[in-house]
Amino acid sequence: MRMKPKNTPKSTFDGAISISALQWLCNADKKHHNPVKRLYQFFSSLYACLSRSARAVLQFYPENGDQMELITAQAMKAGFYGGVVVDYPNSTKAKKFFLVLMTGGNMPLPKALGTDEDSHGVTYTAKRERLKQQRGKSLKKGRDWILEKKERRRKQGKDVRPDSKYTGRKRSGRL
C-alpha cells in the first residue's frame, strides 16, 4: 500500500486535521500487514505535503500505551516535532487524544481542555462540617449539592444548563 499524495506539489498545505485516521493505519488483519511501515509511510508523505511551520492535528484513541508510543515514534522519525495532548484526562467518556505535529521546529503544544492548572495544592473545604450540621437532612435535596453536581459534570466535559436564581428550588404543584 503506497500512500503518495496525487497531484499535490510539495509544501502546499499550511495545516492538516484528521479524525481517527490513525486507527486504520494501526490495524493489522493479516500477517503481511506492517503497521510500523504503514505509519512511517503516512507520516513521511504528510510531512512532504505540509509547508514549513505547518501543523497537523490527528485525533485518535490508542488501545494502549504501546500503540501511542509507536505512533509518536514513527511521526518523529518522519521529521515532525510535537506530542500528544489529552483533553479531559480525568473523564472516561469525554477523554480525547490529539497528536499535534509541527514541521517548523519545536514549539509549545496547545493547552489541553479540562485540566486544572492551579490545583497543585490541597484546598480546604468545609464539606465535613456541612455534613455534621445536616444530620438527618437529605443530602441530595439541597442547592449546594445541585451546584456541586453541575460543577462535576462541567469538569467531565458534559453540557450543563447554566446556574440561575431558580437552581435548586422546588417546582410548584402544577406539574
Full DSSP string of 93-150: SS-EEEEEEESSS--PPPPPTT--TT--SPPP--HHHHHHHHTTS-TTSSHHHHHHHH
Q: Which helix (H) or strand (E) holds 53?
A: strand 50-60
Cell of 50: 505540509
Please give the Cα distance from 175 to 171 (Å, whole number): 8
How confident is the model over 49-93, as pLDDT tens digits?
Answer: 888 888 888 888 888 888 889 999 999 999 888 888 888 888 888
CATH superfamily, region 13-102? Vaccinia Virus protein VP39 (3.40.50.150)
Q: In the chain, where are the structural domains located?
A: 13-102, 125-162
Q: pLDDT of 132-168, one tens digit each?
A: 666 655 567 788 889 999 999 999 889 999 999 988 8
- Report yes or no: 30 and 71 within 8 Å, Cβ to Cβ: no
Closest CA to 39 of 62, 65, 21: 21
Which pTM was predicted?
0.56
